[in-house]
Chain A
Amino acid sequence: MAQNTTNGFPEGDALQSQISGRHLRGTIWRIVFLSTLILAIIVLIILLVTIFVDGFGLVAVQNVVEPESLVLDYVETDMLTAPDTIASEDDNELVAGIAGDPDGTGFFGYAFYANNSDKLRLVSIENTIPDDTTTSDGSYPLTRPLELISSASVIAAKPQVGQFILYYLQHVNEEIENIGYFAIPDAEISEIELAVMEALGLDTSGSVPMIDPATVSGNITIAGSSTVFPLTERIAERFKADGYGGEINIESIGSSAGIRAFCVDGSIDIANASRKILPEERAACRSNDRDPIESQVGTDAIAVVVNPANTFADNLSLEELGILFTTAAVWSDVDGSWPDNPVHRYIPGADSGTLDFFASTAFDLRLQDLPKDALVAILGAGITENVGRRLEREQRFYNNAVVFNSAEEWVAVCSSDEPPAGCTSEERSQNNVYLLVQERIVQPKILQAWPLTESIFNRQTIIDEVGATYPDARVEFRSWLNRHFLNSPTSSQPELAGFRTAILGSIFVIIICILFALPVGVGAAIYLEEYASQDKWYNRIIQTNIYNLAGVPSIIYGMLGLAIFVRALEPITSGALFGFSDAATANGRTILSAGLTLGLLILPIIIINGQEAIRAVPNSLRQASYGLGATKWDTVRSHVLPGAIPGILTGSILAFSRAIGETAPLIVVGASTFVTVDPTGPFSKFTVMPILIYNWTSRPQKEYQYLAAAGIIILLVLLIIMNSLAIYLRNRTQGKRA
């Protein structure tokens, strides 16, 4: 190929280098274009991630009323009000009752059974009898651990605390049977001792040193569970008797209060607890430098007993246990093979911790599992009569009865001119009542919220933080985008705020916008394309102006809308002219004004799009039509419009999706930011999605940012749906034309 350059073109090496130089330039530009594409994709991804990160995440929620306590109340009431049930705070009375009644049954702390085992017969639960083994390994269901809770930091500062706990562990199994609780195996005790020894700074490889109380000095304060109280008291007495010179102060205030006093207030050295420490409590302890050391010292169990004359009831499953102490009238209700003797129940009274304990362990119920009647009762107990009446008028609780209204009231209300929805609607479902209980009684409050990334990567820190700051709160994962969000109006409480009014507002506004802009825009486009002569100077001016209007900033349209629709045409846009004068609106800042303003905003776009779609209809079709003797209108109606409609729709949908996302003109036109009433028609005041999002993002509470993110997701989904529809329509037409 090595030839001389004779004809002005490079040859040989020069040719090759010239070609590779051009390739190189091409490659460089290709890389530049690729980089810009990658940049665009990265920006998009960052945008989406930012929104999604804010839309979901951990929240610290605190209930005004814990659902568990509602369930417990329900179960206890159910038990206490069951027929043939005698409740007493005095366990001796229960023992005497069961002992003297062949059909009697009941339950109480195991200690009492142990003292009266000659008069009673113990029933196994799930084929298990409570003893040291079954209580410590958990196979007997009606048990709870008895614990001492302290921490290495406390023990390091006050060695007497650690020494007392060690002493406690070394001697508890000598005393525990006397109190009536179950011992835990020595091997487990040794393990627990190791943790305490470590905290005391003792050598854990050697044997456990026996504690001599005479060598221990300094005071110890203990508080907590009333169940653990007698055992701790007994050990404390023994500790003193063995020569301890300091003061031990023991208070019975309940497990939760004890743990809080230890972890949060730091006012005590040891917390007595008749349950395991909860993760939030543990976190709270940690954040106060009191990483808890749990020392289980024993196990409490409930004994379910019958009269010795009862020979058939040997064993009960948990389910049967629930039936026996609530609904069963005769023994055969519990087990078909048992006789039809009546059931006589002897159970601890409402003030007893034993009843709580039994109710919380024997029944595996959640609030949403409760029957509707129970939920209505819970609701009724927690709300005022007025609220109840209002709820009932919105939707009644029972088809055949009224709860909060009196029967006369109900008849009067329902025979009025405008009977409320509750008069005709179906009764509320169990789930509906459950949601009301959640909203009105449980009232979960979001104390703090975290974005998704932090929720994933800093989960433990967040849990610790919540434990320290809000000991009663629990940490849970929350999707800010949920059914409640879609179904509720906005609110000054972020956990109650929803998007409903904004979604409806946007839909109403866009409907007005479509009704106005689509016919006007398409009509104008048809006239300009099919009728107006482009030779006339005024038509060209109109055309140029339409192009320019499409580029005018949207805020200008807002000013225009304010001047024309809100002010000048107020009698029309406020509905006053049609007798719709609404005291709440009282001016032209209505859905109608907003829809018309947005309609003006996108009108040029629709006209231009429509013209392009009409222009895309092949001229040969018009000629064919005219050639058959068609008039202009025949041609437009039968050939131009059908051919252009998909294109017109595609462009219009894109224009409407722009209108849905518009904020500025609607602020000028006067969209309300805080509207809790659904819009009812064109003359309602309104808010729309972008306005509410804007409003939320400018609020001081951080939770509203997450709500805004959820709102943006909905807006985005809506826009994606609209754009997909446009693409679908476009593809369908292309398919048709091919």
Chain B
Amino acid sequence: MSNNNGNYVLQAEDMNVYYGSFRAVKNVNLNIAPRAITALIGPSGCGKSTVLRAFNRMNDLVPVARTEGAVTFHGRNIYEPNVDPVEVRRRIGMVFQKPNPFPKSIYDNVAWGAKLNGFKGHMDDLVEESLRGAALWDEVKDKLSQSGLSLSGGQQQRLCIARAIAVKPEVILMDEPASALDPIATLRIEELIQEIKQNYTIIIVTHNMQQAARASDFTAFFSVDDHRTGMLVEFGETNQIFTNPHNETTEQYITGRFG
């Protein structure tokens, strides 16, 4: 699964997600460009997190959830029956809204996923590399054996990013990664995202429109219909969405008239 230049990494085609009989999102068609930051924005309950989780089959963990349509990863539908969600998640990592480091040492937090996935190289180097990648190394290099829970919120979130990149995924999904953090920590996470964009495809859900405008290359705007079902309203380059939205709802949202 090499990264074909110019081709899309992930594509959602007519994707519908149901929670039981409730359709949470409908007919989503979305193309994710490689090594770029795609932001998913929209009002509360518009299904942007559901869409994000559909990209690495995290919705499978919700017993009543069902996904229709296709999500192709390098041209292959990850919802095909013979695709193992474990492999999907190994390639498409995830960072969550609230920092959730394991109650283990900082070292083990980073090393656990790699060990699990059969990493054969030099673990100390991988841990250092990942922590450096997450701009955390200098702060924790002397206390790798301390619990990950002993770090501050912002540090914990960067640890989670280090943990995610330690398994060398291709895509990292981020579900409002800075929403539980203070402004300074938020800023550091944003800078970090800009840095790791060099090596990873990033899809980020955010509530914060400035953040989306500042930090992303593409923006997908979601909204809800009359049945409270989420849908993709407009997708394009961030610049275009924020300066010249084609859709009226998008314009209303980004100008703060609803949402």
Contacts and interface: CB of A to CB of B under 8 A. Distances in A.
Given A535-B63, A620-B98, A628 B58 contact: no
Contact of B102 (A534, A624, A629): A624
Interface stretch (B84-92, B189-197, B220-228): B84-92
A627 B94 contact: yes
A627 B87 contact: no
A391 interface: no
Interface string A624-652: 11111111001000110011000000000
Contacts of B64: 535
A621 B96 CA distance: 10
Nearest to A632: B86
B45 to A, nearest CB: 20
Interface stretch (B22-30, B70-78, B112-120, B210-218): B112-120
Contacts of A736: 103, 147
Given A535-B63, A535-B64, A622-B61, A628 B113 contact: yes
Contact of B86 (A618, A630, A642): A630
B163 interface: yes
B215 to A, nearest CB: 21
A628 B163 contact: yes
Given A621-B102, A737-B103, A627 B58 contact: yes
A628 B164 contact: yes
A623 interface: yes
Interface in B94-145: 94-96, 98, 100-103, 112-113, 116-117
Interface in A490-539: 533-535
B102 A639 contact: yes
A643 B61 CA distance: 20
Contacts of B113: 628-630
B160 interface: yes
B89 A628 contact: yes
Interface in B47-72: 56, 58, 61, 63-64
Interface size class of B (residues with CB under 8 A): 20 to 34
A535 B164 CA distance: 32
A643 B103 CA distance: 8
Interface string A422-464: 0000000000000000000000000000000000000000000
A621 B100 contact: yes
Contacts of B101: 624
B96 A623 contact: yes
B160 to A, nearest CB: 7
B90 A628 contact: yes
B34 interface: no
A627 B89 contact: yes
B167 interface: yes
A533 B61 CA distance: 11
Nearest to B88: A629
Contacts of A626: 58, 61, 89
B93 interface: yes
Contact of B58 (A623, A631, A639): A623
A631 B98 CA distance: 22
A406 B142 CA distance: 74
B116 A624 contact: no
Nearest to A733: B103
B86 A627 contact: no
Contact of A620 (B87, B91, B100): B100
A630 B115 CA distance: 10
Nearest to B163: A628
Contact of A634 (B94, B100, B116): B116
Interface in B13-50: none
Nearest to A639: B102
A627 B93 contact: yes
Contacts of B91: 629
Interface centre among A533, A627, A638, A639 (most CB of B within 10 A): A627
Contacts of A643: 103
B163 A624 contact: yes
Interface string A527-570: 00000011100000000000000000000000000000000000
Nearest to A737: B103
Given A620-B96, A620-B98, A623-B96, A629 B116 contact: yes
A533 B164 CA distance: 29
Contacts of B100: 618, 620-621, 623-624
Given A630-B113, A736-B103, A624 B90 contact: no
A725 B48 CA distance: 48
Contacts of B93: 627-628
A150 B86 CA distance: 103
Nearest to B56: A627
Contacts of A630: 86, 89, 113, 116
Contacts of A625: 102
A638 B96 contact: no
B63 A533 contact: yes
A366 B64 CA distance: 84
Contacts of B98: 620
A302 to B, nearest CB: 80
A643 to B, nearest CB: 7
A629 B113 CA distance: 7
Contacts of B163: 624, 628
B17 to A, nearest CB: 17
Nearest to B101: A624
Interface string A584-625: 000000000000000000000000000000000010111111
A262 B259 CA distance: 110
B133 to A, nearest CB: 15
A623 B49 CA distance: 14
Interface centre among B61, B63, B95 (most CB of A within 10 A): B61
A699 B115 CA distance: 65
A335 B78 CA distance: 105
Nearest to A627: B94
Contacts of A618: 100
Query: Which of the listed residues A534, A638, A642, A736 has the most CB atoms from chain B within 10 Å of its own CB?
Result: A638
Contacts of B58: 623, 626-627
The listed residue with most A CB atoms (<10 A of its CB), out of B86, B101, B160, B167, is B86
A518 to B, nearest CB: 23
Interface in B160-174: 160, 163-164, 167
Contact of A631 (B86, B96, B160): B86
A620 B149 CA distance: 13
Nearest to A536: B63
Contacts of A534: 63
A728 B146 CA distance: 22
Kindly name the residue among B64, B102, B147, B164 whose own CB sees the greatest number of chain A CB atoms within 10 A.
B102
Contacts of B56: 627
Contacts of B63: 533-535
Nearest to B84: A631
A240 B163 CA distance: 118
A156 B100 CA distance: 98
B245 to A, nearest CB: 32
A623 B99 CA distance: 11
A454 B63 CA distance: 69
A639 B100 CA distance: 12
A230 to B, nearest CB: 93
Given A629-B113, A629-B117, A624 B89 contact: no
B2 to A, nearest CB: 19
B90 A629 contact: yes
A628 B103 CA distance: 15
Nearest to A643: B103
Interface of A: 533-535, 618, 620-631, 634, 638-639, 642-643, 736-737
10 contacts: A535-B64, A620-B100, A624-B160, A626-B58, A626-B89, A627-B56, A628-B93, A628-B167, A629-B86, A736-B103
Closest 6 CB pairs of A and B: A629-B90, A628-B113, A627-B94, A620-B100, A629-B89, A624-B100
Given A534-B63, A629-B116, 11 more contacts: A623-B96, A627-B58, A627-B96, A628-B167, A629-B86, A629-B89, A629-B90, A630-B86, A638-B116, A643-B103, A737-B103
